[in-house]
A and B are shown apart, each in its own frame.
Chain A
Amino acid sequence: MTPASVIVGVLAISLTQAAVAQEKPAAPKTSVTPSNVTQDMLNRAAGDAANFLHTNGDYTQKRYHPAAQINASNVRSLRPAWIFQTDVKESMETSPIVVNGVMYVTTSFSQVYALDAQTGEQLWYYKHPLGPITIYCCGPNNRGVAVYDDKVYLATLDSKLVALDAKTGNKLWQADIADPELGYSETMAPTVANGKVLIGTNGGEYGIRGFVKAYDAKDGKLLWTFDTIPESSVGVWAEKDATGRDMHRNIRAEKEQLAKTGDPYKTLGGGVWQNPAVDLASNRIYFLVGNPSPDLDGSLRPGDNLYTNSLVSVDLESGKYVCHFQYIAHDVWDLDATSPAILVDVRDRSGAVIPGVIHAGKTGHVYVHDRKDCSLIRFSDAMVPQENMWTLPTEQGARMLPGANGGVEWSPMAVNTQLGLSYAINLHQPMTYHVQSTPYPGGKLWLGGAFKVIPTEEQSGNFTAVDYNTGKIRWQVKTPQPMIGGILATAGGLVFTGEGNGRFRAYDAQNGNVLWTFNAGAGVNAPPSSYTVAGKQYIVVAAGGNVQLDYKRGNAIIAFTLD
């Protein structure tokens, strides 16, 4: 094993400057050769124990890996197989992708490594030459790549979509997604389906107009754009949230504002932070749309602010609207929808099993929908304390729980269908919500106030299993810090997740008992993956800490296997 050199201590300030950035694919040092990925492989990923082909495991995004070699009876013997140190010691959110013994991981500042998944040796390294203008919320994160055919796809902080040669790391083409100077940036991993590269956008804190775009996987040609903010964003003047609670909107004042300034759709936000789920049967995709801009000041954006804070489905081939469900109309708390959609069969209100789609909200609820029309079937017990909902923000600050990070942040859930459970990690951060009103600042930070952690109140997190057919919490494990990252479930009856204090743990999927713990030395705030090479199952996760919660930074990719 030859780990890459390490930058320890300070951020490398040279990382992002165009004049000094380089693209340097290194010569392969091992015998493993990157292989092509077919659409059939992508379609069958849920049953592929050798690989981890999608950011969230497969197109349904259950993050359930079918390998069972590592299981509840032997997980105590799980040991590090190798540790790879990247050149970037900064927040890591990457989901490792594995294709026939080759692993692709990313770091902050949009850099990619190809590794031998058995040994951790580096095959190549792509350092994206970021432009001088990068405007983004919540850290220079990157959540990984997509793979298809002979290419690896990356979306970058300066809002580019890049296709790399899977064998060498050389750039094959690059497409401009949006203008970074207006607050657009990319931290999510793309999704590839039927020859299309799908990508959303960050920017809900900067007055963007959000979208999901589809590019031709061969040459980067734009095929369609779905604007997450329609030109008519007003909606139905909903007064209650998805759970039936009054949101205390001043509809009359909003209507007066609408008459004065018109529909605010051009700067209304609506970022898409996470991968869409792809329903291969109906050829539809399902994704979540984030908060309106400005986050806390509703006075400038009358109406429901469609389709912010919503589950949305569009047609994969055309990008045409199919259906949506809005959780919080006219949100003024940034309690938006970020954790990715998961496709799973669920029981409807009559008890019949139907195709469903579920999402975990910053509100702390798991929402269960009918996939046919996006309608809500049920919502779960609250996984975190809820207090004073929906108290409106004030200039002095109004206390309300959950805090603006959730509940469930961008962290993907995992699902075990045998147990009928979805697994979510949560934050509990008491906050006060403050409102200020300023006009659109042209791509600058536009919060419309502030959400402020109350330093004297205890923070914590939890790992929660929810029965999505009843909405009841099956088990819950409290953690000392708010949780952010992601979860992996396996056929071995296990669920894996990490914490900001460096702990990476395996839990019994049935009851939440802790079965194994490893301390990575830096925050484990990224979703784990699993794969099998030469007859051995591996669990792999990044330990890089987290910018948003200021968890200890690191630069490691750690692969574990049984001793």
Chain B
Amino acid sequence: MTKDVLATMVLPALARAQTLEERAQLCAACHGEDGIPQQKTMPVIWGQHQGYTYLQLRDFKSGVRKNDIMTSLVQAMDRNEMLALALYFFQKRWPDLQQAQPPADVAARAMQANTALACTGCHQGEYQGEGTQPRLAGQTREYLHQTMIDFRKRSRGNNPGMSDLMLAISEDDIAACAEYLAGLR
């Protein structure tokens, strides 16, 4: 979505949206009608945990997480509306993106990164996430990779702890993790 499209189509539609369903429909423009994102760099939000999605909406609104489009979209939302929207998407079924499982050496490298940093200590067993910890299993590979790199560069600024952790592993480790996590269900 370009800023022009946002300004001419989405924001006026957002202003007219009365119900949660109508508001959620606008999200489908990028995140997919069926939960499968339109672009691979867009995250899956269907089935994502309510607490995590809420925190992202909150952080977009405050500007702690930078994204002009998302910041515009959530600007008029209050806490309860964000929680309700996050719950709406959590109750949708996580889509199967049919992403390939990685070769053994890539999986081994990813698992070694988990041993080093204890990723599952927060993201839980099988990387299913919980509460405010996002599910990583089956997320789009491109989004996972870009997000971890953004954390590493601190260009994603709403979780400095994640930035610290990503700085403690290499970009090759990150690539392996993205491929491994995308292949999980």
Which residues of A are at the interface with B, using a C-beta cutoff of 8 A?
A: 10-11, 13, 15-19, 90, 109, 130, 132-140, 157, 205, 397, 434, 436, 438-439, 441-442, 444-450, 452-455, 547-550, 553
Contacts and interface: CB of A to CB of B under 8 A. Distances in A.
Contacts of A454: 116
B161 A452 contact: no
Nearest to A16: B131
Interface stretch (B30-38, B69-77, B119-127): B119-127
A283 B149 CA distance: 54
B90 interface: yes
Interface stretch (B17-25, B164-172, B175-183): B164-172
A17 B48 CA distance: 12
Contacts of B87: 17-19, 132
Contacts of A448: 164
A452 B130 contact: no
B160 A446 contact: yes
Contacts of B131: 16, 130, 132-136, 140, 157
B7 interface: no
B67 interface: no
Given A444-B158, A445-B162, A139 B116 contact: no
Contacts of A138: 121
A547 B121 contact: yes
A136 B51 CA distance: 12
20 contacts: A11-B126, A13-B129, A16-B49, A16-B131, A17-B50, A17-B87, A17-B90, A19-B87, A132-B51, A133-B55, A134-B51, A139-B124, A397-B168, A438-B154, A441-B159, A444-B158, A444-B159, A445-B122, A455-B116, A549-B118
Nearest to A552: B125
Contacts of A455: 112, 115-116
A452 B51 contact: no
A437 B130 CA distance: 27
B161 A550 contact: no
B165 A132 contact: no
Closest 3 CB pairs of A and B: A445-B161, A134-B131, A438-B160
A436 B159 contact: no
Contacts of B49: 13, 16
B163 to A, nearest CB: 7
Contacts of A17: 50, 87, 90
Contact of B128 (A13, A109, A446): A13
A140 B130 contact: yes
Contacts of A19: 87, 91
A14 to B, nearest CB: 9
Interface string B43-58: 0000101110011000
Contacts, number: 124
A523 to B, nearest CB: 12
A90 B133 CA distance: 15
A547 B160 contact: no
A19 B51 CA distance: 12
A444 B135 CA distance: 17
Contacts of B51: 16, 132-135
B117 A450 contact: yes
B159 A445 contact: yes
Contacts of B120: 547, 550
A130 B116 CA distance: 30
Given A450-B167, A452-B116, A548-B121, A205 B128 contact: no
A30 B112 CA distance: 48
A553 B120 CA distance: 12
B21 to A, nearest CB: 16
A16 B130 contact: yes
Given A132-B131, A452-B116, A550-B114, A447 B125 contact: no
Nearest to B132: A135
A19 B5 CA distance: 35
B79 to A, nearest CB: 10
B90 A436 contact: no
B86 interface: yes
B13 interface: no
B28 interface: no
Identify the interface centre among B51, B86, B114, B161: most chain A CB within 10 Å of its CB.
B161
A442 B63 CA distance: 13
A134 B165 contact: no
B83 interface: yes
B45 to A, nearest CB: 14
A109 B83 CA distance: 20
Nearest to B160: A438
Given A11-B128, A132-B83, A548 B118 contact: yes
B125 A547 contact: yes
A132 B50 contact: yes
Contacts of B91: 19
A415 B118 CA distance: 32
Contacts of A11: 124-126, 128, 130
A10 B117 contact: no
A203 B163 CA distance: 19
Contacts of B90: 17
Nearest to A395: B167
Contact of A453 (B116, B162, B163): B116
Contacts of B54: 132-133
Interface string B85-114: 011001100000000000000000000101
Given A11-B124, A446-B160, A450-B164, A134 B132 contact: yes
B168 A450 contact: yes
A133 B51 CA distance: 5
